[in-house]
Each structure stands twice: as structure tokens, then as C-alpha cells.
């Protein structure tokens, strides 16, 4: 009988899916497999293996539904995966609303704990109860001494508590008096070790902490962001911003302790020095969780804002800003390209370990392509790829070839063997190969030296990006969603530094 009922339920759900299809379970998403034929819908992993349980836990976390327990009928559409498609490496839906994960309130475990608040009465309640009983005369003569005995016990207890409170207040006042004047290197409780007001007056320190040349450049960036910087919807905010536009959004609760300039300063210090969040929390006298929310929110904002900037230069702009050395030897050069890698923590999946392992670095890495104009300005920044990808694969996949025009020349290293992949009328300028010769000829050696003297500027641009020391660390897997944003933000910030090549005509 039991298996017959199970069979009926399975047949019912099969018919329901055939008629209605599956709807995405992400809050605010109403994609349906019957209405959106081009999307794929994915079930939650089921199984007892450690990898599947961890993957199931990650998906539930990103969906952010209170008390959500997925069943075999719940689906997540492909719109919530990076790139609009679920792959083996990209199997966690990260494009989901960043709402606070509400913790359910659990009932007290024991009956004694649940009834504790009802059993214990305060002294005032007990006195009132005794007074009411005496006035209405419901008490027996034998019970009257018990009430007065309890009242005397409560009075003595209250007196002891008063003495203890007075002692604690005196101790608190003494500690406050000691902390009011910091001495012998001890910081005051509200004294910020890193303060924008003190750092901004010294250009040397300001460049050290932020990477920007001076405070005037910092202010120009703040003004460049416009009013958008004041309407940030912070990560893990409890505000239901799905129903509120950015222009109408207004933060609820207490006023923020930090200004917009101070928050942006914290983010630049995090990028420039690679300080840990706990360290920044101590330096700025706020909680570590607040530092984390600020950084994640500003990483999202800066990444989306910088990506809107049209940094690819026109042919006329290239000619106007081209240094004399390029005009004499390689006047048709449009961009110089190269790839760089960043260390990441070894993934738990064997396949992910394989695709991210770099034979060049002998480590698991992420790899990105950068292109600079002859003047040294960053003209193109690709997204990050797995460290095993070759330079040729990244160049063909990142989209830079679609931006080249007829008559352009692209300068690169020997690893970029992309001559057959270039658009019509575009040439490749790379050092000559040995081929079957034992050594380079005199002419090839001179050509190699000339190209190397020009191509070195892209190496200098990469070195400038890596002055943001957060890119020099081994990125943990917990920061994997932020790595691509950090790489792009650091690359764009170098365009606000002084020119890379000084002799620009």
C-alpha cells in the first residue's frame, strides 16, 4: 500500500511538470522551463559524498531563503550562474540577491528552561502578590510568615546587588579616566590608527597607503563617481532593495559611522597594502564584519563603474599620444599585449586543480590578459581564466581581436602565435623564432632587441598593477568571487597614476 501511494505521488508530480514546467526557486526570479525555452534548470546536488554535500550547502547559502530545504522538485535557472551557463567549474549560482541570511529562532531545549521566566519573580512582583493576598485575606495564617520571610530575603539580596553595582560603576569610571589620555603607545578606544584627515596632508604617505599620487586625485575620483556613491546598497543589507530603485533607496537604522570618502579610503588601503580585514578593523576602530561589508560592496560598485568606461583608444588618440620612440620604429602599433598570473588556493576538486595548475608558475593560478597603448595607458583588461589556458586561447576568447581595425599592428611576445587568427589587415609584431637554425642571425637579433625595448613597457604596466599587494597574496577559495573584480579594479586604477612613459610628445 505504501509503495502504491509513492507511485501515485511520483506520477502526479510527473504530470504537473509536464503541464506547468519548473519555476526557478531563487527569490524574485520567475523563470519557468515552459516559458523560457532557452534556459536550463538545475537540481540541487544529492548524495552523501563530501563534495556533493559541500556544493549543496553553497547553493543553498547563495539562494538566501529563510529555512529553505530543497527537494527534488526545486530548480535553479542558468541565469544565476556566471556567464549564463552552469559548467563543471562554475557550478554555484552567484548571481543571486545578496540578502541577509536570517537565523531561525529555536525554542529552548528543556521544559525547565522554557518555564524559567514564569517561575522566577522579581522582588516588586512578590511584594505586590503578598500585598494583594493580605488585603483580600485569601492566605492562611500558616502562610503569612513565609511571605514576610521571602520579602526580607529579597531586600537583603537587593542591597547586595546595589553595593555590587556601585563598585562596578566606580571601576568603570576609573578605566574611562585611564583611557581618556593615551600614553606609552596605548591607543584610545576611539582613536583611529589610520585617519584620512591625517594621511591626506602628506603626499608621500597618501601614495603609500592608496597608490594614488595625492589627495587631489582621490577627490577627483570621488567626484567622478557622482551621486552613485551615496546610494550604495550594502552587502548583507536587510533592506528589500528588489522593490526599491537605487534613486529611491534610503538606508534605515542608525547613521553610518564612516563617510563615503573614509569607506573608499579603506578599500584603497585594502587593495594597496593587502591588509587583512581584522587588521583594518583594529586600525579604523570598527568591526571586522563591517569592514567585510564595505569591501564587498565597493568591489561590486567599482568593478561595474570602471567596466563602463571606454578606455579603448581611437586611432587618432593613439597617434596624438604616441611617444617618439614608437613613431620612429613602429608607428602603426595599436596596442602591446601580455598575460600575467595570480596565485590561488588549490581547489578541492581534482579537475579544478588540473585546469588551474600552471606549469610556468608550478602553482594553481588565475590568468588574465592586459593591453596597453604605446603611451603606456591601460587600453584593455580581460577577465581572468584558469592558469592552464595558453596565451593564444585567452587572446582569442577575451574579445580584444574584435576591437582592432585594418592597418593596426599588435605587438606581443613569442607565446602569442596568433597571426592566423587576426582580422583582415591587422599585423602581428613578435620577435623572430629560431626555427631550424642553431642561433639567431644578426638581423633577427637586432629585430628582437628593438621589439624587446618597446614591449618592456607592458611588463612595466603589469608591475605597476602588482604594486597593489593584494594581488601578490595566494587568494583563498572564499575570495574567488572577488578575485576577477579586484584584478580589473587595480588595472583601471593605474590609469589614474602619472604617465608610464615620460617622453610623450
| pLDDT tens-place string over residues 156-190 | 778 888 888 988 988 888 888 776 544 433 344 45
pLDDT tier at 300, thresholds 50, 70, 90: very high
Does the structure show a pLDDT above 80 at 246? no
Q: Please tell me the predicted confidence (pLDDT) of residue 215.
A: 94
Backbone angles phi and psi of 91, in degrees to 5: -115, 15
Q: Please tell me the predicted confidence (pLDDT) of residue 179.
A: 64
Contacts 24+ apart (CB under 8 A), 121-125: 123/151, 123/154, 123/155, 123/157, 123/158
Does the structure show a pLDDT above 60 at 243? no
Q: Please tell me the predicted confidence (pLDDT) of residue 265.
A: 95
Q: Please tell me the predicted confidence (pLDDT) of residue 343.
A: 94
Q: What is the rounded average pLDDT of the residues 230-257?
A: 59
Of 335, 338, 337, 347, give the one whose Cα is nearest residue 386.
347
pLDDT tens sequence across 136-154? 444 334 444 444 455 667 7
Does the structure show a pLDDT above 50 at 103? no
* Four-residue CA torsion sign, 81, 86, 88, 92: positive
| Average pLDDT value for the chain | 79
pLDDT tier at 9, thresholds 50, 70, 90: low
Residue with the bigger pLDDT between 62 and 306: it is 306
Residue with the bigger pLDDT between 401 and 176: it is 401
pLDDT tier at 474, thresholds 50, 70, 90: very high
Q: What is the rounded average pLDDT of the residues 373-380?
A: 94
Q: Please tell me the predicted confidence (pLDDT) of residue 6.
A: 47
Q: For residues 167, 171, 173 and 175, what is the CA-based torsion angle, rounded to 10 degrees?
A: -170
Q: How far does the chain reach from its first CA to its final CA, in angstroms?
A: 89
Q: What percent of the chain has pLDDT over 70?
A: 76
Enumerate the domain spans of the chain.
2-84, 196-307, 315-496
Select, from the ranges 87-101, 220-234, 384-398, the one with the highest average predicted confidence (pLDDT): 384-398
* Helix extents (H) in 180-312: 196-199, 203-210, 215-225, 260-273, 277-284, 288-307
Least confident of 86-95, 178-187, 282-291, 349-358: 178-187
Q: Please tell me the predicted confidence (pLDDT) of residue 137.
A: 43
Does the structure show a pLDDT above 70 at 200? yes
Per this entry, what is the length of the chain? 505
Select, from the ranges 247-256, 430-439, 458-467, the one with the highest average predicted confidence (pLDDT): 458-467
Cα–chain center distance at 414: 35
Strands (E), 425-482: 427-429
Residue whose entry in the numeric block shows the C-alpha cell 581547489: 347
Q: What percent of the chain has pLDDT over 90?
A: 37
Q: Please tell me the predicted confidence (pLDDT) of residue 482.
A: 92
Amino acid at each position: 500500500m505504501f509503495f502504491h501511494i509513492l507511485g501515485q505521488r511520483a506520477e502526479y508530480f510527473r504530470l504537473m511538470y509536464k503541464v506547468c514546467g519548473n519555476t526557478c526557486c531563487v527569490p524574485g526570479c520567475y523563470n519557468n522551463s515552459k516559458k523560457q525555452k532557452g534556459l536550463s534548470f538545475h537540481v540541487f546536488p544529492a548524495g552523501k559524498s563530501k563534495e556533493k554535500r559541500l556544493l549543496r550547502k553553497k547553493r543553498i547559502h547563495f539562494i538566501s531563503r529563510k529555512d529553505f530545504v530543497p527537494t527534488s522538485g526545486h530548480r535553479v535557472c542558468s541565469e544565476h550562474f556566471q556567464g549564463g551557463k552552469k559548467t563543471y567549474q562554475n557550478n554555484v549560482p552567484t548571481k543571486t540577491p545578496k540578502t541577509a541570511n536570517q537565523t531561525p529562532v529555536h525554542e529552548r531545549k528543556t521544559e525547565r528552561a522554557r518555564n524559567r521566566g514564569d517561575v522566577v519573580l522579581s522582588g516588586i512582583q512578590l511584594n505586590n502578590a503578598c500585598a494583594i493576598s493580605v488585603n483580600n485575606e485569601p492566605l492562611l495564617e500558616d502562610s503569612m510568615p513565609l511571605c514576610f520571610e521571602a520579602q526580607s530575603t529579597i531586600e537583603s539580596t537587593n542591597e547586595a546587588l546595589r553595593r555590587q553595582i556601585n563598585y562596578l560603576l566606580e571601576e568603570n569610571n576609573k578605566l574611562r579616566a585611564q583611557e581618556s589620555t593615551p600614553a606609552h603607545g596605548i591607543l584610545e578606544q576611539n582613536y583611529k590608527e589610520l585617519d584620512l584627515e591625517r594621511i591626506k596632508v602628506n603626499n608621500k604617505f597618501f601614495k603609500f597607503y592608496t597608490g594614488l599620487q595625492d589627495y587631489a586625485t582621490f577627490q577627483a575620483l570621488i567626484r567622478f563617481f557622482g551621486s552613485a556613491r551615496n546610494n550604495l546598497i550594502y552587502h548583507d543589507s536587510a533592506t528589500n532593495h528588489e522593490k526599491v530603485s537605487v534613486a529611491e533607496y534610503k538606508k534605515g537604522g542608525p547613521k553610518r559611522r564612516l563617510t563615503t570618502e573614509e569607506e573608499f579610503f579603506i578599500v584603497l588601503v585594502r587593495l594597496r597594502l593587502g591588509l587583512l580585514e581584522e587588521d583594518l578593523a583594529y586600525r579604523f576602530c570598527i568591526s571586522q564584519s563591517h569592514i567585510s561589508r564595505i569591501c564587498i560592496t565597493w568591489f561590486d560598485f567599482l568593478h561595474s563603474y570602471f567596466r563602463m568606461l571606454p578606455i579603448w583608444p581611437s586611432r587618432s588618440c593613439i597617434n596624438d599620444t604616441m611617444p617618439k620612440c614608437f613613431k620612429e620604429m613602429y608607428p602603426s602599433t595599436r596596442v602591446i599585449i601580455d598575460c600575467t598570473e595570480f596565485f590561488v588556493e588549490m581547489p578541492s576538486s581534482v579537475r579544478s586543480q588540473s585546469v588551474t595548475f600552471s606549469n610556468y608558475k608550478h602553482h594553481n593560478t588565475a590568468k588574465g590578459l592586459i593591453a596597453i597603448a604605446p603611451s603606456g595607458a591601460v587600453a584593455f583588461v580581460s577577465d581572468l581564466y584558469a592558469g592552464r589556458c595558453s596565451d593564444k586561447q585567452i587572446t582569442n576568447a577575451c574579445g580584444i581581436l574584435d576591437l582592432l581595425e585594418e592597418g593596426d599592428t599588435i605587438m606581443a611576445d613569442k607565446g602569442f602565435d596568433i597571426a592566423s587568427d587576426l582580422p583582415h589587415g591587422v599585423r602581428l609584431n613578435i620577435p623572430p623564432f629560431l626555427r631550424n637554425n642553431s642561433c639567431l642571425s644578426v638581423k633577427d637579433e637586432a629585430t628582437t632587441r628593438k621589439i624587446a625595448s618597446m614591449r618592456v613597457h607592458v611588463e612595466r604596466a603589469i608591475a605597476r598593477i602588482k604594486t597593489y599587494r593584494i594581488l601578490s597574496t595566494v587568494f583563498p577559495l572564499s575570495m574567488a568571487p572577488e578575485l576577477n573584480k579586484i584584478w580589473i579594479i587595480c588595472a583601471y586604477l593605474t590609469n589614474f597614476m602619472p604617465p608610464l612613459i615620460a617622453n610623450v610628445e
